[in-house]
Amino acid sequence: MINMKKSFLAMILSAVIVSDAQAEISDDIVKIGYLADMSGTYRDLVGPNGLAALEMAVDDFGGKVGMADIQIVSADDRNSPDVASSTVRRWLENEDVDMVAGFVASSVSLAAIEVIKENNKLGIVSGSIASSITNEHCSPNHIHYVYDTYPLAVGTARAVVEEGGESWFILTVDYSGGHELEAAVSSVVEASGGEVIKTLRHPFPTPDFSSFILQAQASGADVVALANTGADAINAINTAGEFGLTQSGQKLAALLLFLTEVHSLGVETAQGIQLTTGWYWDMNPEARAWADRFFEKTGVRPTMVHAGIYSSTIHYLNAVEATGSDDSQIVRTQMINTPINDMFATNGRIRQDGRMVYDMYLAQVKTPEESQGEWDLYKIVRTIPAEEAFRPLSNSVCPLVTDNR
């Protein structure tokens, strides 16, 4: 009889807990906002196909978390911090958005995460480069998922110096993410025994790189490094090819080059360029299987950011499901406490500062002879272990860091 009473009480308690958990999902809806450059310079590397990756994650989750529907809203940030801030504020304050995903230009991300923090919601940054997002600009309301300036500098710059590229000319896009990449690369070059003899900044965006490439050639530097991406990187690399920069003995180092950009350039133009990436669509069977599904949906192979958006969205939804809540702090804590093992990363984890750390890769663009197809573009040169790839917490100024793990 006593056991029956205990069992009955346990059933009641369980029902109450489940009921409370369900009630913690506001409005019985988990609403995700997707914010990215949908029409400009960064359209191809994140853009509409990043939204497609997010939609794949929601579809794979069944469109629901428990009894709560998952809804998506999206917008073009137009690479404008003002547009991003006003859009995110409207979503959070008027449209009950729980989490904002995507993000590309670092200036846009830094503006948007301030609004997210003000409203105590959650943001997952996947496309931005600035390492300050989880350093001096860290907050308990956002996570930085795919890459930042630190692994790009550690991976590419160190490798090029080790191969004999001692003197550097750095051509940098003139905004916060570019400035941070320039500083990180300069630090790695000098620590590795090289020298930065000149830095030059170009406006965003820049259609004509002729004068910049001529100055790079005249510098006599061993290495001309491009601290830019998107259409700017494509234009700069094409101009360097037209001016015969590499034929004159200088090396070209692309510090932030995406699969879509290499595809646009073609292996004839991009062959031999070394770059750092967090993921490649053909790196293992799990990545390939997901990339095949993405290709069926979009007609292109995914960048590391597309894959990261999918992975981070699944990780977020798993945390909402596990906690029965869409509260930003409850969900973020669950995400930090749960390892990431999926098609994107093995033994990935989110640190106290909000930085997701995992193994990165040094890759090299294949030659036309090596490439076996339109999207067969990279060969992986080496793995950069997570503890080497990302800024150590011992060097962090983030106030959320309470130990050096």
Q: Tokens at residue 297, please?
A: 């949906």
Cα of 188 vs its chain's centroid, Å: 21
What's the pLDDT score for residue 13?
40
**373 in helix, strand or coil?**
coil
Question: How far is residue 277 from each of residues 25, 74, 305, measured CA to CA in Å?
Answer: 36, 26, 10
What's the pLDDT score for residue 1?
41
Averaged pLDDT score across all residues of the chain: 92
Cα–Cα distance, 36 to 86 (Å, whole number): 14
Pairing of the two strands 360-365 and 274-277 = antiparallel
What's the pLDDT score for residue 3?
41
**274 in helix, strand or coil?**
strand
Q: Is the pLDDT of residue 26 over 60?
A: yes
User: Which pLDDT band, with edges at 50, 70 and 90, does 405 fall under?
Assistant: low
- Tell me what the mean pLDDT of segment 335-349 comes to: 98
Q: Is the pLDDT of residue 103 over 50?
A: yes
Place of tokens 């993405």: 294
Return the percentage of the chain with pLDDT > 70, whole number.
94
What's the pLDDT score for residue 248?
87
What's the pLDDT score for residue 126?
98
- On the 0-12 / 13-18 / 19+ scale of CB atoms within 10 A, 79 is buried
For 341-359, give one letter per residue: b (16+ CB within 10 A) or e. Answer: ebbbbeebbbbbbbbbbbb
Q: Is the pLDDT of residue 338 over 80?
A: yes
Q: Is the pLDDT of residue 10 over 70?
A: no
Cα–Cα distance, 399 to 312 (Å, whole number): 24
What's the pLDDT score for residue 14?
39
Q: List, in sequence order, the alpha helices (H) in 100-227.
A: 106-118, 149-152, 158-162, 176-191, 210-219
Pairing of the two strands 195-202 and 356-357 = unpaired
* Interval 218-252: pLDDT, tens: 999 999 999 999 899 999 999 999 999 988 899 99
What's the pLDDT score for residue 186?
97
Structural domains in the chain, sorted by start: 26-147+283-355 (3.40.50.2300), 150-277+360-389 (3.40.50.2300)
Q: Quick one: which H or E segment has residue 312?
A: helix 304-323
What's the pLDDT score for residue 182?
96
Return the percentage of the chain with pLDDT > 90, whole number.
86
Cα–Cα distance, 250 to 239 (Å, whole number): 14
What's the pLDDT score for residue 9?
40
Cα–Cα distance, 200 to 189 (Å, whole number): 16
Q: What is the DSSP letter of 340?
A: B
